Structure 1
Amino acid sequence: MLPAQLSPARTSHSALRAAVERVRAADDRRLREARASVVFMTVQSAHHSGRSSGYANSVLSVRIGGAVGSCAVEPGQLDPGSVSDLAGRSAAELLEHADPAVRLAVLDAYLADLLPHAEHPGARRVRIPAGTSLEKSVVRARAVAELVPVPEGSAVAVIGVVNSLLAALRERGFRPIPCDLKGGRTEWGEPVLVDHREAISGAQAVLASGMVLGNGTFDDIAGLCRDRGLPLVVFAQTGAAVLREMVGAEVHALSAEPYPFFWLTGDSTDIHRYSAGELR
């Protein structure tokens, strides 16, 4: 499921624009020299064994140097054939692209190449063992849930419904408030809110998908968390290295999952956890 978002007229990518400008100011020459060597789309449909429902995602990925950056996109948002127009172009040029998904995937790759998650001094690696798609989903969910820094019994707004995450939060004694653009119901029949503002209004913490950075709702979500003094925890495949730059500011803690994602392979994969206290 995709995370809830505001109407198009009220979305904002100011956090992404600010991140691009910070990188430009740091080393514009390196941006001009860095090239997107590989660009590809992944269209995925998943239905874990033992679950009553599935989900689908489309992801744009860009390779710069030794890193792959990604951004989930809405179905039909990008023509798969257009990726050939992006390969070979400089990071500086692609960061001017009209589509924020392209800008985010490129910036994600550039930052991850500059400092890989595995080499970041503030990262704590968690190995997701080899297994079925459901087994890996459950292990990842438990590792993410551990980042939520509120007492047992607290309500946690989950923006971007992942059923394994809801289960992991309940295991820790939290009360999840599911919120997702598609609405509907969870695996257990719970209603899913479509307005993230409503979900956040009743929460003591927020756990959001990295997709909120790509769809333009991150600014509003982070602002609501700041105004209410709520910790914002993000679990990210989309823009994981970009969100890493926000830990200690807008983001309290982050689970960064670089490519390849857990659902792409039965082999072991890694996530990298960051928290504000460890990056100070």
Structure 2
Amino acid sequence: MDIAALDAAAGALRMEPSHSVTAGGTTHHKGRVRSELVAAEVDRVVLPGGPARVLLVGVTAAMVEVLVERGHSVLASDLDPGIIGSEVHGVRVHSGTETCRLLARADAAVITGMTTTTGTVDDVVAAAEAHDVPLVVFAQTGGHVFPLMLDRCSGAVVAERFPFYMLSGDTTFDIYRLAGERHR
């Protein structure tokens, strides 16, 4: 509840995104669009180095699939005991307790806004800063809060407006970057 209240208050600040994309169609299609947007931001922060080792914190199958398709080597961590130790599109899912250790091996990291509700966001951001790893955030939860943290993320935030991708209707994704970085 505290995160929801904070996010609602942050929404009143009306930050201007670098750009926005609206997607309609099925849940699968909108989830794929979100994953493509996040992967494009990963590509942007790791280029011109090309494919990179990317840590995904908070596993979604579509996100793993798109990152792998783009040639990235994906590490994955999650707190859900139901998927820890399993493989998603050939990527082994590690325990979320290993996230900070895995960050030391990554060129970039993608984190979910749910890190705010699990109480892990501070540790993940600090570990990313310590290892100079840019973060790309995909956020339903914290979609208004994370853009305020761009100076600590050093990558981008892909925030999802309500109605979220798994609900009927169009979904708009706002992409936030540090000041001066517009859509390419």
Output the CA distance in 1 between the equivalents of 2:13 and 2:52. Answer: 38
Unaligned segments of structure 2, at least 5 residues: none
Spell out, residue by residue over 1:258-278, the C-alpha distance to the aligned partner (whole angstroms, 9 max, x if none).
22101011x221010011253
Output the CA distance in 1 between the equivalents of 2:91 and 2:136. Answer: 22
Is 1:152 the counterpart of 2:50? The answer is yes
Q: In structure 2, the residue corresponding to 1:264 is in which secondary structure? A: coil
Alignment partner, residue 125 of structure 1: 20
Map residues 111-260 of structure 1 onto 2, 5 A cutoff: 111-115=10-14, 120-128=15-23, 130-148=24-42, 149-150=45-46, 151-182=49-80, 183-194=84-95, 195-260=98-163
Query: 4+ runs of 1 displaced by more than 4 Å?
Result: none
Q: Which amino acid aligns with 1:255?
A: V
Give, in angstroms, the shift of residue 173 of structure 1.
1.9
- Normalised by the length of structure 1, the TM-score is 0.58
Spell out, residue by residue over 1:86-137, the C-alpha distance to the aligned partner (whole angstroms, 9 max, x if none).
xxxxxxxxxxxxxxxx22100111221342xxxx334310112x22211111
Alignment partner, residue 7 of structure 2: 108
Spell out, residue by residue over 1:143-201, the C-alpha distance to the aligned partner (whole angstroms, 9 max, x if none).
11111111323100000001111111122221111111121323334321112123212
CA contact (8 A) 2:22 2:171 kept: yes
Spell out, residue by residue over 1:212-267, the C-alpha distance to the aligned partner (whole angstroms, 9 max, x if none).
122111111111111111101110011111111111234521001122101011x2
How many residue pairs get aligned? The number is 173
CA contact (8 A) 1:257 1:272 kept: yes
Output the CA distance in 1 between the equivalents of 2:30 and 2:17. Answer: 24
Q: Which amino acid aligns with 2:142?
A: G
Output the CA distance in 2 between the equivalents of 1:272 and 1:158. Answer: 20
Output the CA distance in 1 between the equivalents of 2:70 and 2:179. Answer: 21
Output the CA distance in 2 between the equivalents of 1:176 and 1:190. Answer: 7
CA contact (8 A) 1:158 1:177 kept: yes
Aligned-residue sequence identity (percent) comes to 32
Q: Which amino acid aligns with 2:86?
A: R
Evaluate the alpha carbon distance shift between residue 179 and residue 105 of structure 1 in structure 2; reply closer, same or farther with a 3 A threshold. Answer: same
Evaluate the alpha carbon distance shift between residue 188 and residue 110 of structure 1 in structure 2; reply closer, same or farther with a 3 A threshold. Answer: same
Output the CA distance in 2 between the equivalents of 1:258 and 1:131. Answer: 16
- Normalised by the length of structure 2, the TM-score is 0.86
CA contact (8 A) 1:240 1:257 kept: yes
Greater relative CO, 1 or 2 (CA 8 Å, sep 6+): 2
Unaligned segments of structure 1, at least 5 residues: 1-101
Two-structure CA RMSD over aligned residues (Å): 1.8
